[in-house]
Amino acid sequence: MSDKIGSPEKIGKPLSVGGITTLLIGICAYLPKEWQQIAILLSSFISPIIIHVAFLVLVRVSVDPELTQYLGSLNRDLKNQRKQMKSVDPNSEVFKKLKEREETTVLLLATAHQDHSSGKLSLKAVPRLEGN
């Protein structure tokens, strides 16, 4: 089994058609008597749709923690690069190098999700070295 947070196994476990159907049937008790029987029958058809939509939403919004950390690092780098560029002479060689780095960082930010989804960007934790 995968230990990834966004894995379908972990997302699907709290969602069950039976649980949602039971909840909907419980809510049907508050409807007028003439609508209760119809609502109970419809709940068995509606609950799988609710589960399917909820699953799609959860998969869509779940982001790999490593990707989030990577994006945060790129945003911090970009902020720092722009701050440094303000303090450097625009005609200097350092400014030109910082401008190139800024452009590279912007491109990395713009394509991070796409590259991660396609497999071009592989994010692995780098082991930290212990202090000597």
Ranges 58-67, 95-104, 118-127: which has the least confidence: 118-127
Q: Kindly indicate the confidence band of residue 68, based on its pLDDT and cuts at 50, 70 and 90.
A: confident
pLDDT at 113: 84
**Residues, the chain, total?**
132
pLDDT at residue 99 is higher than 50: yes
131: which DSSP letter?
Answer: P
Ranges 23-32, 100-109, 118-127: which has the least confidence: 118-127
pLDDT at 59: 77
The rounded distance, in Å, linking the Cα atoms of 18 and 44 is 9
pTM of the model: 0.52
